[in-house]
Amino acid sequence: MNVLENLKWRYATKKFDPSRKIEDHSLDVLKESIQLSVSSFGLQLYKVLFIKDKELREELKKFSWQQNQITDASYIVVFCNYIKKSEEHVDEFIALKSYTEQSSIEDLRGYGDFIKTKIKEKSIKEYQHWTALQTYLALSNLLYSCAELKIDACPMEGFIPEKYNDILKLSEQGLSASVIAAIGYRSDKDKTQYYSKTRKPIHKLFEEI
């Protein structure tokens, strides 16, 4: 099956070829794959930055364990979760849902109120944790879509979110960097691509009840 072959092909790329760039049409596919990601209530309480600027990435690299993927990849994708509660997010979602489904906002008001109630029940810490988790769901779509297009990727948590927030001016937008990914094309000098995948055996990883 192609799905398994694609997953076997991909790996966390450690060394990218800086001379190879992702074409615009492939970038559009990746963006749409993220757009189509699942999210709790469908709210998509995050924003995704595709960073190409070399000088900006050099600055970010200082706060990313000096990892070369930051500057050598074609793009750095920064997933940013909303960290401040706002009923406007829900109102915007209901308005969009009304437009998309050609239904009245009044018919959707009860659903919107339900979402607002569930969000109010969360502490601010719980809310921030919840929205950060949503970005990982979106990241999974990016990683698989990259594999489908034979674009290499490396998901990364080795960075200082507070510094990213300052450099990218995220805090003033009510956002925080939660997880990043380098995307581009592997270098033939990246030895990691030749390693066999180390994974738990099926019989240990799964249990049918």
Task: Tell me the pLDDT of the chain (209 aa) as tens digits.
Answer: 699 999 999 999 999 999 999 999 999 999 999 999 999 999 999 999 999 999 999 999 999 999 999 999 999 999 999 999 999 999 999 999 999 999 999 999 999 999 999 999 999 999 999 999 999 999 999 999 999 999 999 999 999 999 999 999 999 999 999 999 999 999 999 999 999 999 999 999 999 99
Q: Say how far apart CA 34 and CA 20 lie, in whole Å.
A: 22
Check if the beta carbon of residue 34 is closer than 8 Å to that of residue 141. yes
Superfamily of domain 13-85+122-186: NADH Oxidase (3.40.109.10)
Residue with tokens 């000098």: 189
* Phi, psi dihedral angles at 115 (to 5 degrees): -60, -45
Does the pTM of the predicted model rise above 0.85? yes
Domain spans of the chain, in order of start:
13-85+122-186
User: Which tokens belong to 85?
Assistant: 């509660």
Partners of 182 in beta bridges: 76, 154
